[in-house]
Amino acid sequence: MSHAPAEVSLEPIEGWHCSHLFYGFDRARLKAFSREERATGRQEIIAALDPHGPEAPARLQTSIVSGNKADFGLMMLDPNPLKIDAVHQRLLAGRLGAAIVPGYSFISMTEISEYVPSVEQYGRRLAEEGEVEGSPAYEAKMKAYASREEMMRRQRLTPDFPPWPNTCFYPMNKKRKVGENWFLLPSAERNRLMSEHARSGMKFGGKVTQLITVGVGLEDWEWGVTLWARNPAFLKDIVYAMRFDEASARYAEFGPFYTSYITSAEEMLDHCHVGKA
């Protein structure tokens, strides 16, 4: 008996593709272009990085990177990974493409973490904490969590960018060392550790927001962490505070940190002195 093949698609069953891309400008190559070429190339870059352009992915954010790891960064999300990659290709194929140097990239997908309880799991947790099922207090907490859970799912799977000026990205793994192997811990213990970690992060509500995307099977690192903050000091404060949690202090490994400041493509080019007379 034959079976129809499963539907073939580049779109995830749930969530979106996500890419973080970081670039530098080759100043010597830029100087080799004529003034007219730099001006034309500048407009091509602005068009390619227009988040409202006709070929733009669902989400596109440009930022100026601090330090010498990169000059600018992009964060993009879309159901179609090739729509994201097309932005990268347009940059490199443009008039100034030879002067744009790819530095670092991280591809991932959005997901709902296994440590975020469903409404049913939250109800069981309330019962374990002594709340009586069906009581007014129990029902009020369940209703409030159900409302938050729907919003959390949407923000984790198809997130909006917060209107905050600072962002930081870094990849991370969970350890697999003898005596410190995260993946050999019982599920209940992993949940306990991540609940502690989440409570630490909640203290920064209104100051910092985060998105964790999964790179397992796609990248060299297992997860990508993106933080946005109202002020750069809050990025320092939250990362420092959360590193004391056992889930982080004992089991986490971190890759490079890229700190940057949200801006438009035009402002980024001005800052980097690209295409200016």
Average pLDDT over residues 128-157: 78
Residue 129 bridge partners (DSSP): none
Whether 127 has a pLDDT exceeding 70, the answer reads yes
Which tens digits make up the pLDDT trace of 13-43?
999 999 999 999 999 999 999 999 999 999 9
Query: Exposed, middle or buried, 15 (CB in 10 Å: 0-12/13-18/19+)?
Result: buried
Whether 228 has a pLDDT exceeding 80, the answer reads yes
> What b/e string do you get for 166-186 counting C-beta neighbours within 10 Å, with b at 16 or more?
bbbbbbbbbeeeeeeebeebe
Max alpha carbon distance in the chain (Å)?
A: 75
Whether 108 has a pLDDT exceeding 60, the answer reads yes
Q: The tokens 């993106």 sit on which residue?
A: 226
Residue 209 bridge partners (DSSP): 228
Q: Which of 2-6, 119-123, 160-164, 261-265 has the lowest mean pLDDT?
A: 2-6
Alpha helices in the chain (DSSP H): 27-32, 35-48, 81-93, 119-128, 136-157, 187-202, 232-242, 246-249, 265-271
Domain ranges of the chain: 17-110
Global pTM value: 0.88
Share of the chain above pLDDT 70, in %: 94
CA–CA gap between residue 144 and residue 103 (Å, rounded)? 44
In words, the CATH class of domain 17-110 is: alpha beta
